[in-house]
Amino acid sequence: MSVPPITNADEPAEEVCRQVLQILALIGDKWTILVIGQLRDRTLRFGELHRAVTGISQRMLTRTLRQLERDGLLTRAIHPSVPPRVEYTLTELGVTLLDSLTYLGDWATTHRKRITTNRRDYDTAHQAD
């Protein structure tokens, strides 16, 4: 696999790194991962997402959805009704993120027992520290 250059002559490396770190912080957030996972196969309304993403507050879900919309990873459609019906759908860009998230999830599932064992062994060895 070839790695693309981080920057070119038109972009300062510091700015590119700052932007990449912001994006990684977003997609590394557990709520982002769970929301994108729920939107994987279908469009969902706010209430459906809130019920599907266990443990997320309405405020955090709203913040997460706004950020994902801002970044172009999902779209929000408002349908005029009383009350208004709001639906969320992944964009093409959001769908491209699914492969990477799926790969990371599969990796975590495959190696979870080994990592759990390593953590236990480490904690046992460092109890006196």
Cα 62 to chain center, whole Å? 14
Q: Within 10 Å of residue 46's Cβ, how many Cβ atoms? A: 16
Q: What is the pTM of this model?
A: 0.79
Yes or no: domain 13-125 corresponds to CATH 3.20.20.140: no
pLDDT, residue 73, reads 96
pLDDT band for position 6 (cuts 50, 70, 90): low
∠ Cα 99 105 111 (to 5°): 135
Entry field: residues in the chain: 129
pLDDT higher than threshold 80 for residue 95: yes
pLDDT band for position 9 (cuts 50, 70, 90): low
Average pLDDT, integer, range 105-121: 95
Per DSSP bridges, beta strands 85-90 and 44-45 are antiparallel
DSSP string, 39-71: TSSS-EEHHHHHHHSTT--HHHHHHHHHHHHHT
Q: Where are the domains of the chain?
A: 13-125
The pLDDT-based confidence of 113 (bands split at 50, 70, 90) is very high
Mean pLDDT of the chain: 91
Q: Residue 22: is it exposed, middle or buried by C-beta count within 10 angstroms (0-12/13-18/19+)?
A: exposed
Give the model confidence (pLDDT) of 24-78 as tens digits. Answer: 888 889 999 999 999 999 999 999 999 999 999 999 999 999 999 999 999 999 9
